[in-house]
């Protein structure tokens, strides 16, 4: 089955973006649908926890696909959810891509907002 993808070029090294995407304490800063996280400080293959949505509902998550420094995907409330990828652009920056299952196509605007927030956060965290 297909996926809906949204990408953004971000003027930040992949290592910084990975830190922001893999450490759960940052999720509330760039993830529009995450207001709190309970779980590991840094995710890895098979990590589990839960996230609170903007309406206060807590949902379980599990990291289902993971490659350190490159990408991670998860299942939320037992449903395949978003995938997060980072690729260096060869010029000191990175291309970040978020994707969702085809049936969540309307969620693309939320993915785009998440990329914009990640870009802003990376600028604030850069030395």
pLDDT tens, position by position, 78-126: 999 999 999 999 999 999 999 999 999 999 999 999 999 999 999 999 8
Residue 126: predicted pLDDT:
83
Question: Distance between CA atoms of 17 and 29, rounded to whole angstroms?
Answer: 13
CATH for 47: 3.30.530.20
Contact between 123 and 116 (Cβ < 8 Å) = no
Residue 64 CB partners (closer than 8 Å, separation 6+):
73, 74, 75, 80
Domain that holds residue 54: 3-125
The chain-wide mean pLDDT, for the chain, equals 97
> Per the structure block, which two tokens stand in for 13?
């090294």
Total number of domains in the chain: 1
* Model confidence, pTM: 0.94
Q: Binning pLDDT at 50, 70 and 90, where does residue 1 land? A: low
Task: Indicate if the pLDDT at residue 127 is higher than 90.
Answer: no
């Amino acid at each position: 089955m297909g996926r809906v993808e949204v990408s953004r070029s971000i003027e930040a090294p992949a290592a910084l973006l990975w830190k922001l995407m893999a450490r759960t304490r940052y999720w509330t800063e760039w993830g529009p649908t995450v207001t709190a996280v309970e779980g590991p400080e840094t995710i890895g293959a098979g990590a589990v926890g839960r996230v609170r949505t903007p309406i206060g509902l807590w949902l379980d998550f599990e990291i289902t696909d993971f490659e350190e420094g490159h990408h991670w995907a998860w299942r939320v409330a037992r449903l395949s959810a978003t995938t997060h990828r980072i690729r260096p652009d060869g010029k000191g920056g990175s291309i970040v891509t978020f994707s969702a299952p085809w049936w969540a196509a309307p969620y693309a605007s939320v993915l785009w907002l998440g990329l914009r927030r990640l870009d802003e956060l990376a600028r604030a965290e850069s030395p």
